[in-house]
C-alpha cells in the first residue's frame, strides 16, 4: 500500500470518527446534560424531552452510532482495498 | 411449590447449565484460555460482553439508584453505555489488529518498556479487584435473601461455581457461559418489568410505559411521580440536584472509565477479525441497552409503587400514610434482612416517609406532628423486591434471584480471567520467566485464577465497608490511567515511553490523591479523609466520582509534553502503529 493512500485511508477514518463523536457528544452531553432544562420545556409523549434524552434517547443514539460506524468503516476498507479476506 | 423450593430449583438448574457449558468448551491452549482461540462470532461476543459488563450493580442496584435519584441517576445510564462508542471507534478494532492477549501487553510493546507494563498491570489489578469484590457482595445479598442461607455460605457457593468454570474453561469457557448468563439475566430483568408496566399503565413495553398514562387516571406516570414526590418534600423526579459541571464530569469519567476497563477491552481480542471487533461492540451495546433502557422505567415504576404502598391514603396529607401493623408481607421479609427499616419516631404507629432534610417541607411536617423520616429503604432491594411489591407470581421472583446471580457471576468470572492473565502472561511470562513453556504458563494462569477467587471471596465479606468507597475509584483510575495511553498509542505516533509512563503516573496519582483527600481509602490510619466531602470544597465543583476526567486531561497533557521533550520512539514502533491502523496490511506472514 502506498504512503499517500495510507494517509488518505487514515484521514477518511478520522473524519468518520470525528462526525460520530460529535453526534455522540451532542446527544448525551448536549441534550442530556447541558441543555436539559431548555429541552425539558418541550414534552413529547409523556416525557420531558431533556429527561428522555438523558435516560433513553442518548442510549438509542449510541447503539445506532456504533452500527453506523462499523458499516461505513467496512465500506472505506473496501474502497481503499484494505478489507480482510 | 413454595417460593424457596422454586428458587433453589431455578438457581440450581442455571448452575448446572453453566458448569455443563464450561466442561463442553474447556480450554486446551493459552490461546483458548486468554482469548478463546479468536473464534467467537461477533454476536456471541456481543452477548458475552454484555453479560461481562452488566454486573450485580447493573442488575441489582442501578434501577434502585435511579428510583431514588431521578434525573441525577442518568449519569449511570449514559456513563455506562456511552463508553462503548469510544471503545468501538477509538480502541477495539486497533487492539484486535494488534492481536495479542492482554492490555498490558499492548502497552509494553507500543511503549517498548517493561516499566510501562508493570504500571499497567498495577492499574489493571487494582481496578479488577475492586470490581470483583463488589460482585461477590452481590452474590452474598442474593443468596442470603432468596436461598435463606448465611451470607458466608452463599459466598462460598458462588466462589465454587466461578472457580469451576473460570479455572477449567478459561476465556473460552467463560465466553459461552456468559452467553447463557446473558439470556438468563435479561429474561429475569425484563419479565417483571413488563408485568409491572402492564399493571400500572397497560402498556407492555417498559421503555414506552414510563411515558404513558397511569391506567384510568389520565395523568402521565412521570408527571404523577413528580407530583407525589414533591408533595412529600422530595426533589422533583425528572430534574436534578447536582451541579451541571459535576453531572458532566461524572458521566464523562464513567464513559471513559468503561472504555478503559481491561476486562471489557479484552473481550474484543476474542473475535476473528477487525471488522468483527467493530460490529461486535455494536451488538454488545444493543444487548446492554435492552437492560439499560428498561432500568429507568423500572426505577420510576418502583418509586411510584413504593410511595403508593406507604401512602395508601391521599399522598402528602397527615393521615395518608400506612399503619405499620397493616404493612404488606414483603416489607416484613425485607425488614428481617435489615435492608428495610422502620423507626416510629413520633410513636403514632404510622409510617412517615418524606424528605426531612428539606427546609421548605419542615413546617408542613411539624404541623402534621411528624418528627422525621421513619422509613429507610436500601436502594439495592428495589429490583429484588419489585416483583413482590407488585404482587407477581413466585416463579418471577425465583427468576429474578437466578438473574441477579447470573449477572454477578458472569462479571466476576471475566474479571478473574483478566487478573489471572495479567499475572501469568504479563508478570510471569512477560517479565520474570520469559522462557516458561506454554503448558506451564497455562498452569500458572489457572493457579492465579484460583488465588484471585480466594482474595475476591475475602473482599466480598467487605469487612471494612470498603467496596462502595472504591467503585468510583476504579472508574476514575481506568479513565485517568489506561484509557489515555492506549488512545495516544494508537492515534499519536510521537508518544514515547517517557511520555506514556509520566502520563499514566500523573493521572493515577492525581486521581488517587483527590479521592483519598475527600473520601479516604488506604490512608485512614494517617487521618484521611482530610477534606470535608462537600461541593464548596471541590476543585471546580467536581466530586471525587467525576475527578477521573481531570486526571485523564492531565495524563494527556503530560504524555504529550514529555514526549515532545524527549527522543521520538524508535522506527519499529512507528511501523507497529501504522500496522495496527489498517485492517489488512502486515496481516499476512505474521
Question: How do residues A17-49 score in pLDDT, each as one tens digit?
Answer: 999 999 999 999 999 888 888 888 888 878 888
Rounded distance between C-alpha atoms, residue B482 and residue B107, angstroms: 9
Only one residue has cell 499517500, namely: A4
- Measure B301 CA to nearest chain A CA, in Å: 14
Of the partner residues B71, B278, B289, the one whose CB lies closest to the CB of residue A69: B278
Q: Using H for helix, E for strand and C for coil, what is the string for B192-253?
A: HHHHHHHHHHCCCCHHHHCCCECCCCCCEHHHHHHHHHHCCCCCCCCCCCCCHHHHHHHHHH
Is B302 in contact with B61 (CB distance < 8 Å)?
A: no
User: Residue B368 is placed in which grid cell?
Assistant: 402534621
- B293 — contact with chain A (CB < 8 Å)? yes
Residue B93 CB contacts under 8 Å (≥ 6 apart), including other chains: A73, B268, B274, B275, B277, B278, B583
Residue B405 CB contacts under 8 Å (≥ 6 apart), including other chains: B11, B14, B139, B142, B143, B158
Count helices and strands in chain B by DSSP H and E runs: 25, 2
Rounded distance between C-alpha atoms, residue B304 and residue B188, angstroms: 21
Residue B323 forms beta bridges with which residues? B350
Write out chain A residues lying below 8 Å of B585, CB-based.
1, 82
B36: helix, strand or coil: helix
User: Residue B82 is placed in which grid cell?
Assistant: 456511552
Is B479 in contact with B253 (CB distance < 8 Å)?
A: yes
- Measure B50 CA to nearest chain A CA, in Å: 13
Rounded distance between C-alpha atoms, residue B162 and residue B160, angstroms: 6
Write out chain A residues lying below 8 Å of B220, CB-based.
46
Confidence (pLDDT) at B589: 36
Confidence (pLDDT) at B413: 83
CB contact under 8 A, A84 and B275: yes
Rounded distance between C-alpha atoms, residue B349 and residue B327, angstroms: 11
Q: Which among A19, A27, A28, A81 is the top mutation candidate for probing chain B, defined by the most B β-carbons within 10 Å of its own β-carbon?
A: A28
Residues of chain B with pLDDT under 70: 27-28, 33, 35-38, 145-146, 462-472, 520-528, 585-590
- Measure A64 CA to nearest chain B CA, in Å: 8
Is B168 in contact with B18 (CB distance < 8 Å)?
A: no
Confidence (pLDDT) at B399: 87
- B76 — contact with chain A (CB < 8 Å)? no
Rounded distance between C-alpha atoms, residue B107 and residue B81, angstroms: 25
DSSP state of B29: S
Confidence (pLDDT) at B586: 41
Of the partner residues A6, A32, A67, the one whose CB lies closest to the CB of residue B578: A6
Q: How many CB pairs under 8 A join A and B?
A: 134
- Measure B209 CA to nearest chain A CA, in Å: 9
B350: helix, strand or coil: strand
Task: Count CA atoms closer than 13 A to B503's CA, side-chain side.
Answer: 33
Peptide bond into B402 cis (omega under 30): no
Domain boundaries, chain B: 3-304+389-461, 316-379
CA B66 → CA B318, B475, B528, distances in Å?
Answer: 27, 19, 30
Vertex B103 angle, CA B102 and B106, to 5°: 95
CATH T-level topology, domain B3-304+389-461: Sodium/glucose cotransporter (1.20.1730)
Max CA-CA distance within chain A? Answer: 56
Residue B540 CB contacts under 8 Å (≥ 6 apart), including other chains: B245, B550
Interface of B with A in 365-384 (CB under 8 A): none
- A21 — contact with chain B (CB < 8 Å)? yes
Of the partner residues A52, A59, A83, the one whose CB lies closest to the CB of residue B583: A83
Across chain A, what does the average pLDDT equal?
Answer: 89
- B585 — contact with chain A (CB < 8 Å)? yes
Vertex B401 angle, CA B396 and B403, to 5°: 90
B20: helix, strand or coil: helix
Confidence (pLDDT) at B524: 66
- B43 — contact with chain A (CB < 8 Å)? no
Rounded distance between C-alpha atoms, residue B100 and residue B524, angstroms: 40
Residue B202 has phi, psi (to 5 degrees) of 85, -5
Vertex B399 angle, CA B396 and B404, to 5°: 130
Is B386 in contact with B306 (CB distance < 8 Å)?
A: no
Residues B237-261 pLDDT 10s = 888 788 888 889 989 999 999 998 8
Write out chain A residues lying below 8 Å of B81, CB-based.
58-59, 62
Confidence (pLDDT) at A40: 84
DSSP state of B269: G
Of the partner residues B85, B238, B278, the one whose CB lies closest to the CB of residue A62: B85
- B93 — contact with chain A (CB < 8 Å)? yes
- Measure A69 CA to nearest chain B CA, in Å: 7
Confidence (pLDDT) at B588: 41
Q: Which DSSP helix (H) or strand (E) runs through B139?
A: helix B114-142
Amino acid at each position: 500500500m502506498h504512503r499517500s493512500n495510507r494517509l488518505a485511508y487514515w484521514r477518511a477514518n478520522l473524519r468518520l470518527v470525528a462526525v460520530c463523536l460529535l453526534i455522540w457528544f451532542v446527544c448525551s452531553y448536549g441534550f442530556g446534560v447541558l441543555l436539559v432544562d431548555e429541552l425539558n420545556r418541550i414534552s413529547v409523549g409523556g416525557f420531558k424531552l431533556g429527561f428522555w434524552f438523558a435516560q433513553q434517547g442518548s442510549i438509542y443514539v449510541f447503539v445506532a452510532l456504533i452500527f453506523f460506524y462499523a458499516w461505513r468503516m467496512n465500506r472505506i476498507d473496501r474502497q481503499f482495498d484494505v478489507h480482510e479476506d | 411449590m413454595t417460593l424457596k423450593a422454586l428458587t433453589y430449583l431455578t438457581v440450581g438448574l442455571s448452575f448446572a447449565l453453566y458448569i455443563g457449558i464450561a466442561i463442553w468448551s474447556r480450554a486446551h491452549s493459552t490461546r483458548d484460555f486468554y482469548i478463546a482461540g479468536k473464534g467467537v462470532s461477533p454476536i456471541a461476543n456481543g452477548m458475552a460482553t454484555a453479560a461481562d459488563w452488566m454486573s450485580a450493580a447493573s442488575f441489582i442496584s442501578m434501577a434502585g439508584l435511579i428510583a431514588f435519584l431521578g434525573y441525577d441517576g442518568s449519569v449511570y445510564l449514559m456513563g455506562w453505555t456511552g463508553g462503548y462508542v469510544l471503545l468501538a471507534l477509538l480502541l477495539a478494532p486497533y487492539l484486535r489488529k494488534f492481536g495479542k492477549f492482554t492490555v498490558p501487553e499492548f502497552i509494553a510493546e507500543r511503549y517498548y518498556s517493561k516499566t510501562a507494563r508493570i504500571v499497567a498491570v498495577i492499574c489493571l489489578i487494582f481496578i479488577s479487584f475492586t470490581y470483583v469484590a463488589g460482585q461477590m457482595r452481590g452474590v452474598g445479598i442474593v443468596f442470603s435473601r432468596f436461598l435463606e442461607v448465611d451470607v458466608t455460605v452463599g459466598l462460598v457457593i458462588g466462589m465454587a461455581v466461578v472457580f469451576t468454570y473460570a479455572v477449567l474453561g478459561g476465556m473460552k469457557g467463560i465466553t459461552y457461559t456468559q452467553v447463557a448468563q446473558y439470556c438468563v439475566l435479561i429474561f429475569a430483568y425484563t419479565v417483571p418489568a413488563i408485568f409491572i408496566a402492564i399493571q400500572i399503565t397497560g402498556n407492555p413495553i417498559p421503555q414506552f410505559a414510563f411515558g404513558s398514562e397511569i391506567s384510568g387516571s389520565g395523568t402521565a406516570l412521570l408527571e404523577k411521580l413528580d407530583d407525589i414526590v414533591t408533595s412529600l418534600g422530595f426533589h422533583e423526579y425528572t430534574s436534578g440536584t447536582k451541579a451541571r459541571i459535576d453531572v458532566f464530569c461524572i458521566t464523562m469519567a464513567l464513559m471513559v472509565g468503561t472504555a478503559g476497563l481491561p476486562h471489557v477491552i479484552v473481550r474484543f481480542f476474542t473475535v476473528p477479525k477487525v471488522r468483527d471487533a467493530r460490529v461486535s461492540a455494536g451488538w454488545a451495546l444493543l444487548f446492554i441497552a435492552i437492560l439499560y433502557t428498561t432500568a429507568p422505567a423500572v426505577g420510576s415504576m418502583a418509586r411510584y409503587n413504593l410511595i403508593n404502598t406507604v401512602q395508601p391514603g391521599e399522598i402528602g396529607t397527615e393521615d395518608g400514610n400506612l399503619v405499620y401493623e397493616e404493612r404488606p408481607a414483603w416489607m416484613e421479609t425485607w425488614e428481617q434482612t435489615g435492608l428495610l427499616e422502620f423507626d416510629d419516631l413520633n410513636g403514632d404507629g404510622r409510617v412517615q416517609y418524606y424528605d426531612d432534610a428539606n427546609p421548605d417541607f419542615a413546617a408542613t411536617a411539624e404541623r402534621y406532628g411528624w418528627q422525621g423520616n421513619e422509613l429507610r429503604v436500601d436502594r439495592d432491594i428495589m429490583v429484588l423486591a419489585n416483583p413482590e411489591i407488585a404482587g407477581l407470581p413466585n416463579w418471577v421472583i425465583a427468576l429474578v434471584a437466578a438473574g441477579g446471580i447470573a449477572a454477578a457471576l458472569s462479571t466476576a468470572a471475566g474479571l478473574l480471567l483478566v487478573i489471572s492473565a495479567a499475572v501469568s502472561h504479563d508478570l510471569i511470562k512477560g517479565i520474570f520467566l520469559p522462557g516458561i513453556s506454554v503448558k506451564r504458563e497455562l498452569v500458572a494462569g489457572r493457579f492465579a485464577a484460583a488465588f484471585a477467587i480466594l482474595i475476591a471471596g475475602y473482599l466480598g465479606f467487605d469487612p471494612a465497608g470498603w467496596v462502595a468507597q472504591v467503585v468510583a475509584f476504579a472508574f476514575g483510575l481506568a479513565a485517568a490511567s489506561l484509557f489515555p495511553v492506549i488512545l495516544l498509542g494508537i492515534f499519536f505516533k510521537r508518544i514515547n515511553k517517557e511520555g506514556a509512563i509520566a502520563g499514566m503516573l500523573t493521572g493515577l496519582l492525581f486521581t488517587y490523591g483527590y479521592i483519598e483527600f475527600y473520601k479516604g481509602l488506604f490512608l485512614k490510619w494517617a487521618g484521611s479523609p482530610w477534606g470535608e466531602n462537600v461541593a464548596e470544597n471541590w476543585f471546580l465543583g467536581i466530586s471525587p466520582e467525576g475527578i477521573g476526567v481531570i486526571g485523564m486531561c492531565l495524563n494527556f497533557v503530560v504524555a504529550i509534553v514529555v514526549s515532545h521533550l524527549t527522543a521520538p520512539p524508535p522506527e519499529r514502533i512507528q511501523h507497529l502503529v501504522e500496522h495496527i491502523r489498517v485492517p489488512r496490511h502486515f496481516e499476512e506472514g505474521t
